[in-house]
Chains A and B, each alone.
Chain A
């Protein structure tokens, strides 16, 4: 594994120069990331994934993208109430991680969690139905967009409270450790969430107790509508975890193959009893914070620039580079389009929940 070079961060941000020597030579990887506020160029060996794995990740990423685009449109048309956050631009973080984990591993994430739920095998129709508030939603319409959950796939909930899902993952990992199950818990959170106290409480305990947990920061550079560099005293978030004695790396979160490699190694460490790993996946939200976001806090040019590193595109190009044909990819595209259309039709046909259901599930009996 070789490190290449690092370039100074842009003048207008306090992002520090990436000290590549700080990054442990544990094989966790990053490829070039070219982001608005930094140019970190770290090259490690990323094992090339088999063609089928790449194709499956592409299929999932595309499916997530199309579901999100439908939901965004539906929300903008007033068909979905409340705040609906899409993960458009974040897909690689989800599909790369999901492919690297075992089916019985645990996951918690944020309100921006559709991608994780779908990457972890949630039924697409029931997921869309839930966001539409329908009876056939996976939670009968009680959870909605911010509360995706599928325990049968180890997906233990997306959370509306910034940071709150992070200790849950540590608890899931603790349960696995106590029962000696070898199950790993991964938790996804944003760059803004780093500043919640409960995160740091959890980092400390997880590291001290060597919990089999992976802390995955989807750093999209914005805390809701505020650029996070404006509020952070530290330029590189992976450095926080170092203070807790944790393995910690920064990677290109828009490259699913890189994410896969990083999560694979973090999971191996966790299963070997070596404790938690912190992964900072550099990514970018290509849509608003939530549907209807006027996005007065960033420029159209900035977003346009980021489109060149769109994670779905990255996967598609990777397939082509590795010898897939346009025809093969077109087949995947067509299959995804068909399944998303079917899922949407299912969800839209689903009735509203019976009002009496509002009173059920308050207590487990």
Chain B
């Protein structure tokens, strides 16, 4: 059983377009937006010279200075709250929360503050902030640095949540998040940072709430998010070898969710597996499966299946950790079963 392999080359790579890593795409998106709009600033732990522990923001402080790339103390709730306050004035803060696991510390500011201020003020105030954070296991980081908790904030009206899978999507979704008038949370998969893919130099955005079919197919739909897109694409390759044509659909944002595209694919293929790195129980897979079952009920030939992280704290040992996250092999097995090919 292997962890999601960052070197998987997938079907969206178009020849002739510049290749960037996922991390570079995030960096470029922020840099381009900061050049365009002086109201944008970044605040977080280790964001300046360190460029974050993942090195994603390297170089930004050289160009924009410490006034716009602000090294904060280790005060997640405080910086989230400061971001909310600054955003209320029309500034566009990007609050950096190093590990998605630490979003537990900003729950009040995101859930009770950022998400509700526009509504509670009857539309008088807005909070155009971005909270960027990480997700994803398989880095041997154990239970407190490996979780994918994007379901939590996807649950809350007033927030938008993006979970890009490819460098192309990372740049376009980050730009959309920064320009959005609402609080947007963007979850970056840590293992995806070195993944390379085509990223146009020109300015483009990917609207929040628009899924993408990453591979077309006829027999089964694999709805997959973030790193699981690579797992699904890899599974689709293997399924093709045995004559099962799998379609891979990436919602790209969990909130808003592009239900239409998911349902259309389900109607076309009649079988669906939803794959996501968050805990399966009460997770985004449940929501998506339900939306699909609702919208495509009469077209389905099998129950909509879910695959998420095992319901255990993510263990440290590679021998254990690799069992907790869905793999291409498991997806293939499930797909074969749904297609009556066992």
Contact = CB atoms under 8 A, between A and B. Distances in A.
Contact of B113 (A164, A197, A208, A360): A164
B120 A201 contact: no
Interface of B: 41, 67-68, 72-73, 75, 77-91, 93, 108-109, 112-113, 117-126, 128, 157-158, 160, 181-182
Contacts of B73: 201, 204-205, 208
Contacts of B108: 161, 164, 198
A140 B123 CA distance: 9
B113 A168 contact: yes
A284 B85 CA distance: 29
Contacts of A166: 81
Contact of A178 (B67, B77, B128): B67
A171 interface: yes
A71 interface: no
A185 B121 CA distance: 19
A363 B117 contact: no
Contacts of A204: 73, 75, 78
A174 B88 CA distance: 11
Interface of A: 106, 108, 137-143, 147, 149-151, 156-157, 159-161, 164, 166-176, 178-179, 185, 197-198, 201-202, 204-205, 208, 360-365
B121 A147 contact: yes
Given A156-B88, A178-B91, A204-B75, A364 B181 contact: yes
B85 A142 contact: no
B182 A363 contact: yes
Contacts of B77: 167, 197-198, 201
Contacts of A161: 108, 112-113
A139 B157 contact: no
Nearest to A158: B120
B112 A172 contact: no
26 contacts: A138-B122, A138-B124, A149-B120, A149-B121, A149-B124, A157-B120, A159-B113, A166-B81, A167-B77, A167-B85, A168-B81, A170-B81, A171-B81, A171-B82, A171-B83, A171-B88, A171-B89, A174-B82, A174-B85, A174-B86, A175-B86, A198-B77, A198-B81, A202-B82, A205-B72, A205-B79
Contact of B84 (A143, A147, A171): A171
